[in-house]
């Protein structure tokens, strides 16, 4: 197939292509029924080798809302992976059944291996601590919708910046826009990886690394909170020590701008107190809604459907 395209990394699409994708997501938001049959007869496979609620259900809902159907597995122990089948073989099999595949895997690069063997578009739905491009598309669409543009703001990313793939993907994607300043807020042990700060230095993009959230709060236009990624820790003791490091509550919010939006890829554990949920600046549930529109737009785009 000549025009076969995958989504492994947000950078796989140019900034212009992303604009077109976000415009399409906007159209879908305005006229959901108008898209209800665009994928009639198409099948989405969701191959999830790692737990997920939002991402898998969001992909499945996206396909169902487009009129298509879904199949797949939510637990690798129920698939032939448990018998030792490689992702390369699994995707060849899936290619015979489905039109498009969303894959989540605990190993960095596994969806990329699948894409290289696939005859249908493969979407990386999260690979280990590496990338999570469709969460990033969700985040970008949310920022664009709330703030009106994808440039000229200060974003604080807070929590587990070491293992959080949504953070890595988002920084990567935002590094292509003008006037963005990053503030990384984390304990020493969970700092953003060196390869990312190195990339920012090379591109002359301003960033700061701090430990205390309150200190930088007044500067932020967006605060991107994250969960401490329990499953990626090597020992329980470190996790227990770090899990309560940041808890966003009303007291901390008192330092924030009146129009600072709070984002979170979810699931939340305890890093945002539920007392914040009714604050008009809390945008994390809106974000989930944008995730649906953008995944619908992505499925249409990768399938080449107008
Ligand atoms: C994130 C993920 O899986 O990386 N969740 C999501 O897909 N929205 C974040 C997380 O698990 O903390």
Mutate to test the pocket of ligand 1, among 104, 266, 270 (most ligand atoms within 8 A of CB): 266
Residue 132 CA, ligand 1 centroid: distance in Å: 8
Question: Mean pLDDT throughout 82-92?
Answer: 90
Could you tell which of 106, 126, 284 is best to mutate to test the pocket of ligand 1, judged by most ligand atoms within 8 Å of the CB?
Answer: 126
Whether 231 and 207 have beta carbons less than 8 Å apart is answered as: no
Kindly give the distance from the C-alpha atom of residue 123 to the centroid of ligand 1, in angstroms, as a whole number. 15
Cα-trace Rg, the chain: 19
How many beta carbons lie within 10 A of that of residue 305, not counting itself?
12
> Rounded to the nearest whole angstrom, what is the distance from the C-alpha of residue 15 to the centroid of ligand 1?
24
Confidence of residue 95 (pLDDT cuts 50, 70, 90): very high
Contact of 138 with 266, CB cutoff 8 Å: no
Distance 216 CA to ligand 1 centre (A): 25
Res 1: pLDDT = 47
Does residue 67 contact residue 40 with C-beta atoms inside 8 Å?
yes
- Percent of residues, the chain, with pLDDT higher than 90: 88
Q: How confident is the model at residue 240 (pLDDT cuts 50, 70, 90)?
A: confident
Nearest CA among 7, 18, 236, 5 for reference residue 127: 7
- Going from the Cα of 259 to the center of ligand 1, the distance in angstroms, rounded, reads 25
For residue 29, the CA-to-ligand 1 centroid distance in Å is: 23
Longest dimension (CA), the chain: 56
> Is residue 78 pLDDT above 70, yes or no?
yes
Question: Residue 78 is encoded by which pair of tokens?
Answer: 């129920």
What are the structural domains, with CATH classification, of the chain? 10-131+291-303 (3.40.50.1370), 134-288 (3.40.50.1370)
Give the tens place of pLDDT for each residue, 166-175: 999 999 999 9
3-state secondary structure of 128: coil
Structure tokens at 191: 């700092």
Taking only the tens place, the pLDDT of each residue in 213-229 is 999 999 999 999 999 98
Ligand 1 contacts (CB < 6 A) are 54-55, 126, 132, 135, 165-166, 227, 229, 265-267
| Residue with CA closest to ligand 1 atom 12 | 227
Give the least confident one: 131-145, 222-236, 244-258. 222-236
Q: Note the pTM of the prediction, 2 decimals.
A: 0.95
Q: What is the pLDDT of residue 220?
A: 98
Ligand 1 centre to CA of 34 (Å) is 30
CA distances from 292 to 54, 55, 56, 238 (A): 10, 9, 11, 35
Q: Which atom of ligand 1 is nearest to the CA of 166?
A: 4
Centroid of ligand 1 to alpha carbon of 2 (angstroms)? 32
Task: Say how many Å lie between the CA of residue 166 and the centre of ligand 1.
Answer: 7
Q: Which two tokens stand for residue 241?
A: 């020590």
- Contact between 262 and 223 (Cβ < 8 Å): yes
Nearest residue CA, atom 8 of ligand 1?
265
Tell me the best of 46, 48, 51, 55 to mutate to test the pocket of ligand 1, counting ligand atoms within 8 Å of each CB and taking the most.
Answer: 55
The reported pLDDT for the residue numbered 2 is 57
Among 74, 123, 267, 271, which residue has the most ligand 1 atoms within 8 Å of its CB, making it the best to mutate? 267
Kindly state the helix (H) or strand (E) to which residue 46 belongs, with its residue range: strand 43-48
Distance CA 123, CA 102 (A): 5
């Amino acid at each position: 197939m000549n025009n076969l395209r995958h989504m492994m990394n947000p950078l796989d699409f140019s900034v212009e292509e992303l604009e077109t994708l976000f415009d399409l997501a906007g159209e879908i938001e305005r006229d959901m029924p108008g898209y209800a049959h665009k994928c009639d007869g198409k099948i989405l496979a969701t191959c999830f080798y790692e737990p997920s609620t939002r991402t898998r259900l969001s992909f499945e809902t996206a396909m169902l809302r487009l009129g298509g159907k879904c199949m797949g597995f939510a637990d690798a122990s129920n698939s032939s992976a448990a018998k030792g089948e490689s992702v390369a073989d699994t995707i060849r099999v899936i290619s015979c059944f489905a039109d498009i595949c969303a894959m989540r895997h605990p190993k960095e690069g596994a969806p990329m291996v699948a894409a290289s063997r696939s005859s249908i578009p493969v979407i990386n739905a999260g690979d280990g601590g590496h990338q999570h491009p469709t969460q990033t598309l969700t985040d970008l669409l949310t920022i664009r919708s709330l703030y009106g543009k994808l440039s000229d703001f200060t974003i604080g990313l807070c929590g587990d910046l070491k293992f959080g793939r949504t953070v890595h993907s988002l920084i990567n994607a935002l590094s292509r826009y003008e006037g963005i300043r990053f503030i990384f807020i984390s304990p020493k042990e969970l700092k953003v990886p060196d390869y990312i700060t190195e990339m920012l230095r090379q591109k002359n993009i301003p960033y700061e690394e701090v430990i205390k959230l309150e200190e930088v709060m007044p500067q932020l236009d967006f605060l991107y909170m994250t969960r401490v990624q329990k499953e990626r820790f090597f020992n329980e003791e470190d996790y227990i020590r770090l899990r309560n490091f940041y808890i966003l509550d009303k007291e901390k919010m008192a330092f924030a701008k009146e129009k600072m939006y709070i984002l979170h890829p979810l699931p939340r554990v305890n890093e945002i107190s539920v007392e914040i949920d009714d604050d008009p600046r809390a945008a994390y549930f809106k974000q989930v809604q944008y995730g649906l529109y953008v995944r619908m737009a992505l499925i249409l785009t990768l399938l080449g459907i107008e």
